[in-house]
Amino acid sequence: MPTWTALTQTAGREAAEAIAELGEDLTPEPVGSGVFEIEDGSDRWEVGLYFTESPDEVALALMAAAWGADPFVISELPEVDWVAHVKRELSPVEAGRFFVHGSHDADKVPEGSEGLLIEAAMAFGTGHHATTKGCLLALDRMIEAGEQPQRIVDVGCGTAVLAMAAARAFPVIVLAGDIDPVAVDVARANVIANGLDGRVECVEAVGFDHPLIESAAPFDLVFANILKQPLIDLVPDMARQLAPGGKAILSGILVTQAEEVIAAYAAGGLPLDRRDDHGEWSTLVVHRK
Ligand SMILES: C[S@@+](CC[C@H](N)C(=O)[O-])C[C@H]1O[C@@H](n2cnc3c(N)ncnc32)[C@H](O)[C@@H]1O
């Protein structure tokens, strides 16, 4: 049976995300990576990189030192442990009517819930992160309120979890774009696995910058779970690409950054409807006047 090498360490959020990203450039390439919040109030994150061959320990030590992070803990895992690890990390997540789960939990979707199948992969959006959950809850409230957006785009789709949730809720074609080609591949695979082929179109795009997205504008609903600065940079495009009365669900914003993002959107003609904080993360709903 093959063994896996798991590298884990804890770090601050920014360092953990950077290490997971840089880890993908290593030789040999990791077969998986993940950044998981340690929910003990310590503001520490666990970053894991998983290899089928032994990685270059010198490169790893340099990478950890460059980020001022602790050295990696290197452990050999029999295959069975790796599977168990992924399953443990990917316990199902409930957010309103949505139940995000791996294939090992496909039989656990509660009656009346919308199941979304997301396997562990190298893209963000398993539903575990507070920002994804915040967006799913905002969508759930819109559905509850009887809103029926027709033109929808998910900017920074990652696994396409938000785009697929919207496609389950509304009988329209949902567009999903990501700057990262690996995420786009993962998103396409998820769309097929969820039986949404033809209902969610995934493209490689920076912001709204793709012919398919531009030709579908203006939008009634935009998701953008990206970080504070890209969200602020996106204000002029967001104002142009949203239809009057259209809404944007924004996340990836630390609670301490929320006022700055709210002010930037209000100044761009996109006032705040609602703000919800989940732990250290804020999710905002804004609309175009
Ligand atoms: C925090 S993840 C969100 C994934 C998913 N939408 C969710 O809510 O779980 C952010 C994603 O946005 C992508 N991204 C960041 N900036 C972007 C931009 N300007 N345009 C398109 N995608 C972007 C990243 O590659 C990443 O996949």
Q: What is the pLDDT of residue 1?
A: 43
Q: Is 206 in the pocket of ligand 1 (CB under 6 A)?
A: yes
Task: Name every residue whose Cβ is closer than 8 Å to that of residue 256 and which is 6 or more positions away in sequence.
Answer: none
Query: CB of 81 within 8 A of CB of 72?
Result: no
Is the complex ipTM more than 0.85? yes
What confidence category does residue 117 fall into, taking pLDDT thresholds of 50, 70 and 90? very high
For residues 80 and 137, membership in a common domain is answered with: no
Residue 24, classed as helix, strand or coil, is coil
Q: What is the pLDDT of residue 33?
A: 72
Give 129-141 pLDDT, tens digit per residue.
899 999 999 999 9
For residues 51 and 170, membership in a common domain is answered with: no
Distance 28 CA to ligand 1 centre (A): 25
Give 153-210 pLDDT, tens digit per residue.
999 999 999 999 999 999 999 999 999 998 999 999 999 999 999 999 999 999 999 9
113-to-101, 110, 145, 167, 188 alpha-carbon distances in Å: 12, 6, 17, 14, 23
Task: Name every residue whose Cβ is closer than 8 Å to that of residue 59 and which is 6 or more positions away in sequence.
Answer: 26
Residue 111 lies in a domain: no
From the list 276, 220, 219, the residue with the least C-alpha distance to 95 is 276
For residues 181 and 283, membership in a common domain is answered with: yes
What confidence category does residue 111 fall into, taking pLDDT thresholds of 50, 70 and 90? very high
29, 64, 89 — which closes off a domain? 89
- Quote the domain boundaries for residue 74: 3-89
Residue 22 lies in a domain: yes
Residue nearest to atom 25 of ligand 1 (CA): 180
Helices 161-169 and 130-144: crossing angle, nearest 10°? 10
Residue 95 lies in a domain: no
For residues 56 and 160, membership in a common domain is answered with: no
Q: What is the pLDDT of residue 51?
A: 76
For residues 71 and 143, membership in a common domain is answered with: no
Give 45-68 pLDDT, tens digit per residue.
777 777 777 777 777 777 777 767
For residues 137 and 269, membership in a common domain is answered with: yes
For residues 145 and 209, membership in a common domain is answered with: yes
Q: How many domains does the chain have?
A: 2
For residues 248 and 142, membership in a common domain is answered with: yes
Domain holding 37: CATH number?
A: 3.30.70.260
Residue 112 lies in a domain: no
Q: Is 231 in the pocket of ligand 1 (CB under 6 A)?
A: no
Q: Is 137 in the pocket of ligand 1 (CB under 6 A)?
A: no
Q: Is 179 in the pocket of ligand 1 (CB under 6 A)?
A: yes
For residues 9 and 73, membership in a common domain is answered with: yes
Tokens of 208: 């709204």
Residue 99 lies in a domain: no
For residues 42 and 184, membership in a common domain is answered with: no
Domain holding 203: CATH number?
A: 3.40.50.150
| Share in percent of the chain as helix, strand, coil (round to 5) | 35, 30, 30
- 194 labelled ligand-binding: no
Q: What is the pLDDT of residue 56?
A: 76
Residue 220 lies in a domain: yes
70, 89, 108 — which closes off a domain? 89
- 107 labelled ligand-binding: no
For residues 153 and 200, membership in a common domain is answered with: yes
